[in-house]
Structure 1
Amino acid sequence: MEKSIAASRGALASDISGSDGAAVVRTWAIIGAAFVVFILYVVFEWVTAPYFGPTQLAEGVEVPLNFKIGVWTVQIGMSLVWAYLIWTQIIKPIRQTGQPNTAGLLGIAFFVAIFWDPSMNWIQQGCVYNPYALNLGFLSGEIPGWMSPRGNLLPEPLLAWAGGYPGFLLWMTFGGLAVMRFVKARFPTISNVKLSLCGVFAAMVVDLVLESLLIRYSGIYAYPGSIRALSLWGGHWYQFPLYEALLFGGWVGCTSVLLYFKDDKGHTWVERGVEKMAFCKNSNFRQSMVRLVAIIGFCQVLEIIIYVLPMPLITANADPFPEDTPAFFTVGTGMCGPGTGLACPRPDLPIIRRNDLEKFSDTVQIAHEPVGEAVVR
């Protein structure tokens, strides 16, 4: 009787966790694979679109020398940082154990996250980029449901972000991880919930510091479409919205928590049980691929819930672009401003959807409204 009860309990436990103990990693891998397919579809639509190509700096618009230097510093510096992390977190671990570290897989997942980088512009433009940076425009206009006009002209600095997203975000992850380890050493009895909150908050702080420095001194991007009362240096082109650190730093901070809690095999929660999958047995390569896709799925879900969904709604309530916003961010890209046929977003103008440009091309709100006039104070 006792044996049958124990056997039934064992069967129940097995049913909950999956018959082979890999239910969690399999679920996240399926989610990740779905996102990868969707992203590849959008990328294909983008590269085959007739407008595909770089957004050129408009004639007569200049980028100051200090910002040219800043752009190249970021492009080269971030690439070197990512190259170092590829060596230390992917190549070396593969040579030693046959598989990359989870941090290296996170770096690749962060690279994939570039897809959602300008998501705050979904309803109306809030972030801008320097067209002096190497770019190919961006794929925003091909994302189903994208509302704001001229998303394809957004000069996403692909070279800078190709290294910057993995490198920059891993800095944030490592910052949160370091704080969690410090706090745990200092307060050994602290609960896991409080410890996790410390890690997430630390990542928010790292994001605030690094992004503020990048904006102010490199001029590679800015957040002119922000709520000034909720921003540092509100009313200036280099303003930094605190909710950017809260939301963006928040979802990246969750990866610090993910890295902190590992099992005895060095696997995080979303990778656990990968070695039990029949597909992965006796193959380090297949295990690595499943782990990677699972982590991509985890990061994509986090980013969409915590950042991608709320950020456009906040941006839709932003104040006007600051009057000192450099022309290379607006007129220089052709996205908005005098002579572009589209006013930069302001609370006293209607929100223009991308299919409104042709329908209402003769209205003052779109065609002839100079940026900076009638600024709401």
Structure 2
Amino acid sequence: MFVVQALARWVASGTEFGPAPILDSDTFDGVQLMLLRVIEVASVLVLIATVWVFLVRPYLAHRRLGLDGKIVIGSLLAAAIDPLINYFHYTFAWNAHAWNLGSWLGSFPLAQGPTHYGEGLAWFIPQYLYLGIGLASIEGRIILALRRRYPGVPDVRAFAVASGSIFIADCLLEQVFIRAGVYAFPRTWSALTLFAGTPYQFPIYESLFVAVYATGFTALRMSALDHPSGLSFVERGVERWRPSLQTPITLLGVIGFCAVWAALAYFLPWSWMSNNPDSLIHIPSYMTPGPPSH
């Protein structure tokens, strides 16, 4: 309901719903703009492929909605809480040249950050899938490989190796987005920031939170694989409901998990880290939020 009301109020606002303004004369064209469009198209293709692999194809094969399909649906819905990243301060700067319809942060209760900026719809929504179910699938493969190679390996160690691998991978992936001008981090803690003070500064806690986010989905998927019932810890006990309600009930459970885990693993710690930073950089006008709308 929160998601529905926030998006409905945003669309009905008449002022916040629409492409974010580009305020000044800073240029972003030629090769830069082309690279942004390539990233947007590639992201959409990844979204389509992810939905096919984890949702559509298994459903067509088994005629039922499996755990991965439920995670796909839950992750897409969880994307609606993305503006929490700038809830207190404008700490994640979006490029308004990306395809966007503004931001719906103004529909969030007591939001303190600026609300008139452009969330890149074509690339950030796919991130919720490939940073969640996609990376969880990779982590699961790493864990299973470790179990085969080292029988009896403790789960803590296997999960740590898998999560550490995702941390390194995300650090590299984020550099592509930052250096392509897709987004920037204008407010960071310098002690935990690579390239601090430059336009490409990157807080390593960003990748830490992403790794924790992905590992939560890994734990959910592995709990189903390791349990005799084949049900994840979110779905267990569903047998108490009549068969016709079991899929809707478990879907709601997984949707709830996706939203809560996104908030706990990423948004709340990130919002807290946005307070009292000491590495502040100038960002170009096409990443600067516009004046408040009325």
Is the TM-score greater than 0.5?
Answer: yes
CA RMSD of aligned residues (A): 2.3
Q: Is the 8 A contact 1:201 1:250 kept in 2?
A: no
Contact 1:233 1:240 survives alignment (8 Å): yes
Of structures 1 and 2, the larger Rg is shown by 1
Q: 1:209 to 1:197 in 2, by over 3 A?
A: same
Q: 2:84 aligned with 1:111, yes or no?
A: no
Shift of residue 176 of structure 1? 1.7
Contact 2:25 2:285 in 1 (8 A): no
For 2:160, the equivalent position in structure 1 comes to 197
Q: Deviation string for 1:38-62 (max 9, x for gaps)?
A: 1111111111113122213235332
Moved over 6 A (4+): none
Counterpart of 1:372 in structure 2 is none
What residue number does 1:85 align with?
A: 50
* Aligned-partner Cα distance in 1 for 2:50–2:231: 19
Partner of 2:206: 244
SS of residue in 2 equivalent to 1:145? coil
Question: Where does residue 285 of structure 2 map in the other structure?
Answer: 327
Give 1:305 shift: 2.0
Residue 144 of structure 1: how far off its partner (Å): 0.8
- Mapped to 1, the partners of 2:241 and 2:92 lie a distance apart of 43
Distance across 1 between alignment mates of 2:286 and 2:233: 45
2:234 is paired with a residue whose SS is: helix
TM-score, normalized by length of structure 2? 0.89
| CA deviation profile, 1:304-351 (whole Å, cap 9, x unmatched) | 22322222221111135324x333212xx426xxxxxxxxxxxxxxxx
Shift of residue 264 of structure 1?
4.2
Q: How does 1:64-143 map to 2 (within 5 A)?
A: 64-143=29-108
Q: Structure 1 unaligned segments of length 5 or more: list them.
A: 1-36, 336-353, 359-377
Other-structure match for 2:178: 215
In 1, Cα distance between equivalents of 2:216 and 2:79? 18
Aligned partners of 1:67 and 1:220 also within 8 Å: no
Q: 1:104 to 1:206 in 2, by over 3 A?
A: farther
1:270 CA drift (Å): 1.1
Task: Name the CA distance, whole Å, in 2 between partners of 1:210 and 1:174.
Answer: 17
Question: For structure 2, which runs of at least 5 residues remain unmatched after alignment?
Answer: none
Following superposition, the deviation at residue 223 of structure 1 comes to 1.0
C-alpha separation in 2, matches of 1:229 and 1:259: 35
**Is residue 42 from structure 1 mapped to residue 6 from structure 2 by the alignment?**
yes
CA positional deviation for 1:96: 1.6
* Cα-to-partner distance string for 1:90-113 (whole Å, 9 max, x where unaligned): 222112211233223222222222
Q: So what's the TM-score if we normalise by structure 1?
A: 0.71
Question: For this pair of structures, how many residues does the alignment match?
Answer: 291
- Work out which of the residue numbers 234, 259, 275 in structure 2 matches 1:316: 275
Q: CA deviation at 1:205?
A: 2.7
Amino acid at match of 1:44: A
Residues 175 and 202 in structure 1, CA contact (< 8 A), matched pair in contact too: no
For 1:206, what is the secondary structure of its paired residue? helix
Structure 1 residues 102, 173: closer, same or farther in 2, change over 3 A?
A: same
Q: From 157, 181, 184, give the equivalent of 2:120.
A: 157
Residue 268 of structure 1: aligned partner: 232
Q: Which has the higher contact order (CA 8 A, sep 6+)?
A: 2
Is the CA contact 1:89–1:104 (under 8 Å) kept in the aligned structure 2?
yes
Alignment partner of 1:306 out of 265, 277, 280: 265
Amino acid across the alignment from 2:160: L
Give the Cα–Cα distance (whole angstroms) in 2 for the partners of residues 97 and 44 of structure 1: 35
Q: Please give the alpha-carbon distance, in whole angstroms, between the structure 2 residues aligned to 1:211 and 1:234.
A: 15
CA distance, structure 2, for counterparts of residue 75 and residue 288 of structure 1: 33
User: Could you tell me how far 1:212 is from its partner in structure 2?
Assistant: 2.1
Deviation, structure 1 residue 200: 3.0
Closer, same or farther in 2 for the Cα pair 1:272/1:248, shift >3 Å?
A: same
Q: CA deviation at 1:132?
A: 0.7
- Post-superposition offset of 1:256: 1.1
The residue matched to 1:159 in structure 2 has which SS? helix
Instruction: Specify which of 223, 246, 252 is matched with residue 293 of structure 1.
Output: 252
| Structure 1 position 227 matched with structure 2 position 185 | no
